[in-house]
Chains A and B, each alone.
Chain A
Amino acid sequence: MKLVTKRFLVVMLVVALCLAPIGCASEEGGDSGEDTYKIAMIANASIADGGWNSACYEGMIGAAEMNGWETSYSENVKQTDYVATFTEYANLGYDLIFAPGNEFSDAVKEAAASYPDINFIVLNGEVVEENVESIMADNTMIGFLAGTLAGLKTQTNEVALIGGMEITPAMQSIDGFKQGVAYVNPDANVSIAFTNSWSDAAKGKEAALSLIDTRDCDVFFGISSAGDAGMREAISDYDNRWTIAQPSDLLDQFPDIILTSIMNDNAQLIGASMKAVIAGEFGNRVFQGGLNENVLSLGTFGESANDVIDEYMDIVEGIKDGSITFDYNV
């Protein structure tokens, strides 16, 4: 009997431990009336990763507030569970399902075909269907905005970009960054390091330090999510090293080293789709948002940007009015 009890205990313990992390889907917002629109987000990591998923989640919340929608989310969803999670929300009658990344494309296609009445948006995606829209910030423009500022500011003529992994939006930003640097400062050299992770903040720190050691880089642009935080810490130990932050305004956290932040307002992107849903015009569209669409904007400038701010603002205006252009190579 004793042995049986013990075995039972072990089984229960293991089951309990394994069930522990299963993602929580929580609903937010008031009582749902029949006429309230609902949006759900599915993330394959934590929504509080301080990077990509955080920005997407905030964007959804912001768009929902502006347009009076209800929200819900599922996080840490495994690739094998994408379709099932989409189906779940579709069955619950959600009006719009938000997939923050191109990696969801196949699952969205599958779910969208089964649920023609439910609308899907894929951030940074390429899928376009009757009930699917792909939305994205203009990543090349993000890179170009950062690159021109870095090229103007650099004193060593060595600027750096720290990436997480080589995915399409990252490559677009890198391409824009290189064009931006070359546009204002053809002598400056661009170095790139990847942390090969979205969550390893320590690796971001090591990457930044290695860029300082090998190339004496002085202006950094980070697109490696958590790694960016490590990068900012690394360079704050030095004099005369700066960084351009993204995707939100981080100046108050590191006022000494941040030149400015390039803010990516996902709320505007998602909001545009919400409006389309309400108006009944949703579908068959790729929406790419830049400065003029209010998806991209610049944050507060740090004092360290004072010497270049005038020249830089001229460039920003030039991009807005179309007098300065760049290529979309990626």
Chain B
Amino acid sequence: MDMFLNAHFIGSLLQSTLRVTTPLLLVALGELYGERAGMINIGLDGIMTLGATVGFIVGYITVNPLLGLVIGAVAGSLINLIYAYSTITLRSGQIINGMALNILAPALSIFMFRQYFGVTTKLIQGTVIKPICVPVLSDIPIAGPVLFNQNPITYLAFVLAILTAIFFNKTKPGLDYRAVGEFPRAAETLGINVIRKKYIACMICGALAGLGGAYLNTCYIGTYAEGVVAGRGFIALSAVIFGGWRVRGLILATLLFGFTDAVQLRFQTILPVIPYQILAMLPYLSTIAALFIMRNSGLAPKANGVPYSREGH
């Protein structure tokens, strides 16, 4: 075991953790913006798929993965407007509309991809945004590769997380935003435009979920395969709950998942006697265990998932 517990091993483990965490954190932040305005969106997985596809196609055509990322986020935001219109304006159920997104968005993605590339059986290779490697600093053991050799989007995700925490806790608009998820009627009486805030929340949520999806195909890997999202949207969703609707909790939750996922892949080679199926469960088991320990249910926004009507009762 000693050969593994060296600086290189730990450094690369943590680096891997951050890579896995990045898309989860982005999407979980998106969901946090949604739920803080009372909008539970279980369609994150679908939005991510669309973001990944659109991001890849645009990145491939323009040979500009950064543009792919941006358009992926825009696409996520736009498709989430369907959910927004159904749940906010028509006040239909959030769960069923989220489910519908999970069905619609991947189908739409396949359609677009095949429209452009045809039914190909070979994987198409696009370009990716490479990690930024800060010279000298990245050579520091452990901290170097972890802190100074990361994808720019990873930095973006953590900066966004910090800004989000500041927004919700320190600013006036953030306070108003929270009131919408807690008690929309009270917010309305105080001159806050609840409906508009909810729409904005959905657009932010869609944009970040789209960005998280696009990250997979413009930063993480350069090939597109249907199903690349592989349930990450649901992990992000649970990270919001387990993180207690707080940014700090969310970062910890996604890091925990990323870390255990990175660890289990290494355990597969270090401890081949353990069946991989058990190791592959580790990230999920640890998330569930953490959910049990944290018992965060009381921290949920009070009006989460409840349709709002101004003259309703």
Q: Chain A interface (Cβ within 8 Å of chain B)?
A: 6, 9-10, 13-14, 17-18, 20-21, 45-51, 54-55, 57-58, 160, 166, 191-194, 196-207, 209-211, 213-215, 225-226, 229-230, 233, 248, 250, 253
Interface with A: B121-129, B161-169, B200-208, B240-248, which one?
A: B121-129
B276 to A, closest residue via Cβ: A194
Q: Known contacts A18-B100, A201-B228: does B220 contact A193 (CB below 8 Å)?
A: no
As a 0/1 sequence over residues 92 to 124 of chain B, the CB contacts with chain A under 8 angstroms (1 = contact) are 100011001101101110100110000111110
Instruction: Contact check, A199 vs B225: say whether CB atoms are below 8 A apart.
Output: yes
Known: A206-B20, A209-B12, A215-B269. A10 touches B90 (CB 8 A): yes
When chains A and B are docked, how far (Å) is the Cα of A13 from the Cα of B103?
13
Contact call A21/B103, Cβ cutoff below 8 A: yes
Contact for B266 among A14, A160, A194, A213, CB less than 8 A: A213
- Residues from chain B with a CB closer than 8 A to the CB of A250 are 122
What separation, in Å, do the CA atoms of A329 and B287 have in the docked complex?
38
Q: Which 10 pairs of residues, A with B, have the shortest CB-CB distance?
A: A199-B227, A54-B121, A226-B225, A21-B107, A17-B100, A200-B230, A229-B223, A50-B123, A196-B280, A210-B265
B216 beta carbon closer than 8 Å to chain A = yes
Instruction: Indicate if the CB atoms of A229 and B120 lie closer than 8 Å.
Output: no
User: A55, B276: Cβ atoms under 8 Å?
Assistant: no
Nearest neighbor of A252 in chain B, beta-carbon distance = B122
Roughly how many angstroms separate A203 CA and B261 CA in the complex, as a whole number? Answer: 9
Partner of B265, one of A47, A55, A206: A206
B64 contacts the other chain (Cβ, under 8 Å)?
no
Q: Is the CB of A166 within 8 A of B276?
A: yes
Q: Which of A49, A50, A197, A214 contacts B269 (CB 8 A)?
A: A214
Q: How far, in angstroms, from A13 to B276 measured CA to CA in the complex?
A: 42
Contact yes or no, B222 A48, CB < 8 A: no
Is B262 on the interface with A (CB-CB < 8 A)? yes
Does A17 contact B272, Cβ atoms closer than 8 Å? Answer: no
Known contacts A50-B121, A57-B121: does B92 contact A10 (CB below 8 Å)? yes
Q: Within 8 Å CB of A48, what residues of B?
A: 110, 113-114, 119-121, 226
Instruction: For the complex, give the distance between the alpha carbons of A205 and B225 in Å.
Output: 13
User: Can you spell out 24 A-B residue pairs with CB atoms less than 8 angstroms apart?
Assistant: A18-B100, A20-B103, A46-B110, A46-B226, A47-B119, A48-B119, A48-B120, A49-B225, A50-B223, A197-B227, A197-B230, A198-B227, A200-B228, A201-B216, A202-B216, A202-B221, A206-B265, A210-B16, A214-B4, A214-B269, A215-B269, A226-B123, A233-B223, A248-B122
Contact partners of B276 in chain A: CB under 8 A: 166, 193-194, 196
Are A166 and B227 in contact (CB-based, < 8 A)? no
Taken together as a complex, chains A and B put the C-alpha atoms of A250 and B125 apart, in Å, by 12
